[in-house]
């Protein structure tokens, strides 16, 4: 049971034809809307809106969530001011999809190719299992299939379906389904590379990962055990916390805001901040921008996910941003969303 409260909301249906519309449209009594637009490179984007004013923006380049705003219009995801906003380079920020590998642990490009490909909108995806079908949502379904170039470096047939959902109360949900349509088994690693916007990294603490083992990417993936009561930041951090709980909380003391991430099908959690020295070596990242972001990723990295022919894997995260004081004990100890 996750110790953070998320309010469930009623269900509505969005007609498939809405995906092809170039303007926003009301849905039932919730006035949730979906809008199709294009960026300055001509790449399609999908904007999801809630009746209270929250929004999420998804680019078909990478199936990447590039913006998530609350009902006050405050941006909750970090994007670098130096991000390269042109294919085939992945944008530094938002929530990018790392598949079929995380980092450089595989035969493909860094973090895999999914984040660098153009996805398509799928009108009629196969239905989600009942326990993975969030309700009360404005949502879009995207599809990725391998290109000929992808098959040269990773020779496996797959269908990757991504649903991005925005609840009426502004909560954000991403659900990934990867099906093996190959004639033989394959395995992969995966992460939702989530850049959260914070006031100052020195004012941030992460709770829920204490006492866990982690692989330290700054020490050749050597295994350590977390000794602190909560994770705080005084230098570069690049860790994979293995067999982590469903819920992790990120407390921003200065903004008095807490992010709660709940995950399913994703046993690991990545925590990353490049700090000052590494920031200066990154061409698509500002020298001082490490202070305004932290990455907390729902992931499957320690052990690869294996799929036999015809099998499908599902992995999801839910993100919530709530006002908070210095202690998460003030949040209600109930969760019932999926």
Q: Which DSSP state fits 79?
A: B
Q: What dihedral angle (degrees, nearest 10) is formed by the CA atoms of 114, 120, 124, 125? A: 0
- Rg of the chain in Å (alpha carbons): 19
Instruction: Tell me the percentage of the chain whose pLDDT exceeds 70.
Output: 81
pTM: 0.86
Contact 268, 301 (CB under 8 A): yes
Higher-confidence position of 204 and 84: 204
| Mean pLDDT over the full length of the chain | 85
Look at residue 13 in the predicted model and tell me its pLDDT: 35
Instruction: Tell me the percentage of the chain whose pLDDT exceeds 90.
Output: 69
**Nearest one of 182, 107, 110, 102 to 146, comparing CA atoms:** 182
Q: What is the pLDDT of residues 74-113, one digit of tens each?
A: 999 999 988 777 766 778 899 999 999 986 665 556 658 9
pLDDT(134) > 80: no
Look at residue 82 in the predicted model and tell me its pLDDT: 83
CATH no. for 12-334: 2.70.98.10
Helix (H) or strand (E) holding 149: helix 148-153
Q: pLDDT confidence of 28, banded at 50, 70, 90?
A: very low
Q: Domain limits of the chain?
A: 12-334
**150 SS3 class:** helix
Cα 21 to chain centroid distance, Å, stands at 26
Q: Give how far Cα 130 sits from Cα of 135, 138, 163, 254, Å.
A: 10, 17, 14, 39
Q: What is the pLDDT of residues 143-158, one digit of tens each?
A: 999 999 999 989 999 9
Our CA angle for 261, 237, 69, nearest 5°, is 35
Mean pLDDT of 122-129: 88
């Amino acid at each position: 049971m996750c110790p953070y409260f998320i309010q469930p909301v009623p269900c509505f249906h969005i007609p498939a034809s809405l995906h092809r519309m170039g303007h926003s449209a009301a849905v039932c009594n919730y006035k949730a809307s979906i809008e199709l637009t294009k960026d300055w490179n001509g790449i399609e984007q999908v904007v999801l809106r809630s009746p209270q004013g929250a929004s999420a923006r998804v680019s078909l380049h990478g199936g990447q969530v590039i913006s998530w705003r609350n009902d006050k219009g405050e941006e909750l995801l970090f994007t670098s001011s130096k991000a390269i906003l042109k294919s085939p380079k992945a944008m530094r920020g938002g929530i990018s999809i790392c598949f079929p590998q995380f980092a450089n642990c595989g035969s493909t490009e860094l973090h895999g190719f999914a984040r660098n490909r153009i996805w398509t909108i799928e009108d009629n995806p196969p239905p989600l299992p009942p326990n993975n079908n969030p309700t009360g949502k404005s949502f879009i379904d995207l599809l990725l299939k391998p290109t000929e170039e992808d098959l040269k470096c990773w020779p496996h047939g797959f269908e990757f379906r991504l649903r991005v959902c925005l609840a009426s109360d502004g909560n954000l949900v991403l659900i990934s389904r990867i099906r093996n349509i190959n004639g033989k088994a394959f395995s992969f690693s995966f992460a939702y590379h989530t850049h959260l916007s914070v006031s100052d990294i020195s004012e941030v603490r992460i709770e829920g990962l204490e006492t866990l083992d982690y692989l330290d990417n700054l020490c050749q993936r050597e295994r350590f055990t977390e000794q602190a009561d909560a994770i705080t930041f005084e230098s570069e951090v690049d860790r994979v916390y293995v067999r982590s709980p469903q819920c992790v909380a990120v407390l921003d003391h200065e903004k008095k805001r807490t992010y709660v991430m709940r995950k399913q099908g994703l046993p690991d959690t990545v925590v990353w901040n490049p700090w000052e020295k590494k920031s200066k070596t990154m061409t698509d990242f500002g020298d001082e921008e490490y202070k305004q972001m932290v990455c907390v990723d729902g992931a499957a990295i320690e052990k690869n996910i294996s799929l036999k022919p015809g099998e499908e894997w599902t992995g999801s995260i839910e993100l919530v941003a709530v006002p908070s004081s210095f202690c998460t004990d003030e949040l209600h100890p109930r969760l019932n969303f999926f």
